[in-house]
Structure 1
């Protein structure tokens, strides 16, 4: 082999090994890169398509759960399309898992304990939804489809709306999916008592970082993080529902603007004529006034 070719091959091989080494080091230094790589390797779209509905991708051992999910999917899609005011941009994909380990790798967080996530426009369902938490399957599926719908219309790289809005929208659109165990009445009373979720830019996916104006009292019979998450989701869902009832035209204007990739704050002000914090205060005031009217008979 000519020396120049050998040298070129050596340089190319050396460059490739250097890149691989650099990537390995970066993944060790930044755990999120490792999680992203694992998620890509376990993309649910690489799973087998369910024979009765190709929108469902599943592990072979999860066939029964896939069938149950497929039976619920048409109604869940119709519900989200009605709540969001338009069809899905493309047919949604739902990944159904039997292995908690594989699900934890695929969800991009390395946490198999989360009931469901939406990642890269695909809903991923934990094995628990066809096991211990089977009663949550319909609500959580519908909740995740709200995320899939919103992300499906948004341009790649568009600024993300705050988590309180996307989760509140999903809870509202799914009639409480993701906030099970916390009733509207209980969440309203918590708001009146000052245990109000803070509508900020924090990533709610870190449940320990959920902010409340006052720390909610803990029920020792329930998991603390789950309790906080569902109370926050329910309150956010109530607020999003209140926004829609207050002015549905403005609400749909906001959704269309977010789907077009507009930044949240500007889109919200354009739709409602004021910012979310001031309308949140009005929402809280309305709850308090209704409570006083009810107490007065």
Structure 2
């Protein structure tokens, strides 16, 4: 018996050591583990709205979020065409360090992220970027809605579509500071976002056919990302206006776990890049008409 116990104990230690080694060698696993320990749903929930979880020092911000949440949720349900699969969870943070631990990116500079079906809000949204709170919350709830309906392990749609959908559904959340007119002018000048198939968050921004010029008065990465998001949002909005039935069919197919390219082709009868060319050509015609 002592031998068996010793062997079992040794095996357990070996498993722990192997897990520790895996975390050390794979930073993304370490970040994911840290995020799991800091899941916002482990924080207290507001008595008046159990969807909103908060750090005690962020109570005032959480109350502001709770006031916004009902109309943000209704807006997303209208844009996506169905209710949330389950009540969305929202995490409100006072500590930048704790927020970075929870967002699985170890980055406190991101205003908000969606992680594990919950929207996580940085302290900056009740601080110096308070004016963005409603738009960014609504943007993140679009991600929560889509992920809530998608089956586990389903292929993730490309980033240009998920971010474009969130910008469109939130009326510009996440693309603040770049107007549709400015994005349209960038399209005319050849600074057009590329509809590539990247499927995970890349905060260096989506690719462009030509790199947009930099404004020395603004943060280059922020403005670049928001220009990309604005153009993607305009295109997704155009797709919706072009054929609402096809758009709804596409969303339901993606929620059911179908790969994006096939679902898009089936819904619209042609590929996304083909329709993108039609979309951008409209701006050139407008120039000619003017």
Fold shared per TM-score above 0.5: yes
State the partner residue of 1:274: 270
Residue 48 of structure 2 corresponds to residue 49 of structure 1 = no
TM-fit CA distance, 1:222: 1.0
Q: Which whole-Å CA distance do the structure 1 matches of 2:243 and 2:197 have between them?
A: 24
Q: Which whole-Å CA distance do the structure 2 matches of 1:44 and 1:67 have between them?
A: 16
Which of 184, 194, 199 aligns to 1:198? It is 194
State the partner residue of 1:118: 114
**Stretch moving more, 187-196 or 206-215:** 206-215
Conservation of the 8 A alpha-carbon contact between 2:205 and 2:228: no
> Any idea what SS the aligned residue of 2:196 has?
coil
Residue 181 of structure 2 corresponds to residue 185 of structure 1 = yes
Q: Which whole-Å CA distance do the structure 2 matches of 1:100 and 1:209 have between them?
A: 22
TM-fit CA distance, 1:204: 6.0
RMSD of equivalent CA atoms: 0.9
Q: Which whole-Å CA distance do the structure 1 matches of 2:82 and 2:201 have between them?
A: 27
Residue 209 of structure 2 corresponds to residue 213 of structure 1 = yes
State the partner residue of 1:242: 238
Q: TM-score, normalised by structure 1?
A: 0.96
State the partner residue of 1:141: 137
Unaligned runs of 5+ in 2: none
TM-fit CA distance, 1:51: 1.2
State the partner residue of 1:58: 54
> Any idea what SS the aligned residue of 1:124 has?
strand
Unaligned runs of 5+ in 1: none
Conservation of the 8 A alpha-carbon contact between 2:192 and 2:208: yes
> Any idea what SS the aligned residue of 1:49 has?
coil
TM-fit CA distance, 1:209: 5.5
Deviations 1:24-48 (A, max 9, x none): 1111111101100000000001000
Deviations 1:7-31 (A, max 9, x none): 1211111111111111111111111
TM-fit CA distance, 1:203: 4.7
Conservation of the 8 A alpha-carbon contact between 1:204 and 1:210: no
Conservation of the 8 A alpha-carbon contact between 1:164 and 1:204: no
How many residue pairs were aligned? 290
Q: TM-score, normalised by structure 2?
A: 0.98
